[in-house]
Amino acid sequence: MRIPPSAQEIFDAGEVLPPAEMARRQLRGLNRAVRFAAANLPFYQRVFAEAGLAPEPVRSFDEYARRVPSIRKADVAGAVRAAGTGQIGIEALGGRRLSNVVMTSGTLGFNTFAFLTPSDLRGGSLLNSLRELWIVGVRPGMKVLTLSPAWHALALLDTRGLTALGAEAVIPWGTFAPRFVPNFLDAVVAHRPEHILLTAPVLRGMIEECDRREADARDVFASVRYIACAGESLSAPYRRHVIERTGIDDLFERGGSSDGMFGGGECFAHRGHHISADLHYVEVIDPVSGELLAPGRRGVPLVTNLLRGRSVYIRFNTEDVAAIVPGECPCGRTDPVIELYGRLSDSVVLEDRIVAPADIREALDTIPDFMGQPFQIEHAGPARIRIAMGVTRPWAMLSRATDAVRSALRIDATVTISENLAVGWKGQVMRGG
């Protein structure tokens, strides 16, 4: 794969195809994916047969949404349970040697498995990784602090991407859990990386650890130009806060779904995630009606992988809240930009809108004492929500937080304290925990 000059913003021509050409290629890719699955992948043969899918190709994205059935995490998990094996007939390996198996995030309390071959890891998935690393500022020869929690597909793809970019990797001990934050910070101090790839809770922990050590975060992060965080959406106030505290040039968000095996990074415009349209097709549908939604409208994203040589997901509902961001991106890329707002199960679906964790985070992060603190959104009436915080704060501060949420979302909301929020190993709120 050809690596462009460091100063170039775009990684390759695939990111800047004219929209009509991109759409034409995607439609062709979708038909190929469905045809291949119908002929070769037992899981989809069953799903398509149950839906009565006719073999004729689709001619538009609308027709694709109408005719091709969608699948959910529960379908994949159910197939694993029923088969008693992780290999369930979604593996488009084409007789190639299997190289790696990874797990999905297990948000339903059940991890499913994805299978990868070297042909994909050197082909489409590597291209996806390179574009994602490039867009978040990783450049050839950079010293990058990272980890390889190797159960997760993103870790494998980052590894191959960093190899192709000739980056020098600094790997502290541990995983992306709060207890390893000191290792991360020590590694930054000792090795002076230019870029850091991590998760948002660990970044929060690192800044808190600077405070605990009475160290100036600007000194600690003096060598770091960029940080890219995966795992949750970052609010604009939090991004400003991190840049201000650490003195880095920019903070990027990375997003996607380990379940649907797709993802992308933000560009400098921070409008959402650029998704490689020649590798994945993402549509957004209404979670209740299943209707295909136009750009700008919120729903749940469905991904179809246009790749082979790995497990393939066709119209896979990731059960997140998302919207396709309308308009042209200032970075010049023409591929679709998807904004992700959190998990649907962590959101409240009202009659006229979906209130997602990212909405609340955006409002609460305007108040320093609430920045980054865990919370849960609850339905409190037909057009009313309650936000249960996992930290104790004085009443006046809660009142201020309530005002901030009401004013930002124009919704009847109350911020309260809950002692019953369960926090998971990554520092995230475990709904129903």
Residues in contact with other proteins by the rule CB under 8 A:
80, 84-86, 98-103, 106, 110-111, 113, 116, 121, 147-151, 155-156, 159-160, 162-163, 167-175, 177, 180, 182-183, 186-187, 190-191, 425
Distance CA 319, CA 341 (A): 11
Nearer to other proteins, 149 or 237 (CB): 149
Distance CA 125, CA 131 (A): 10
CB atoms within 10 A of CB 265: 22
- Nearest approach in angstroms of CB 68 to other proteins is 27
CB atoms within 10 A of CB 185: 24
Q: Which residues lie closer than 8 Å to 269 by C-beta, 6 or more apart?
A: 329, 330, 331
- Nearest approach in angstroms of CB 113 to other proteins is 7
- Nearest approach in angstroms of CB 48 to other proteins is 24
Nearer to other proteins, 83 or 236 (CB): 83
Q: What is the DSSP string of 52-112?
A: T--SSPP-SHHHHHHHSPPEEHHHHHHHHHHHTSS--S-EE-TTPPP-EEEE---TTS---
- Nearest approach in angstroms of CB 371 to other proteins is 26
Distance CA 258, CA 305 (A): 12
Nearer to other proteins, 27 or 102 (CB): 102
Nearer to other proteins, 102 or 285 (CB): 102
- Nearest approach in angstroms of CB 168 to other proteins is 6
- Nearest approach in angstroms of CB 198 to other proteins is 13
Nearer to other proteins, 229 or 415 (CB): 229
- Nearest approach in angstroms of CB 181 to other proteins is 12
The dihedral over CA atoms of 171, 374, 316, 236, expressed in degrees to the nearest 10, equals -80
Nearer to other proteins, 37 or 162 (CB): 162
Nearer to other proteins, 69 or 174 (CB): 174
Judged on CB neighbours under 10 Å (0-12, 13-18, 19+), 157 is buried
Distance CA 231, CA 357 (A): 13
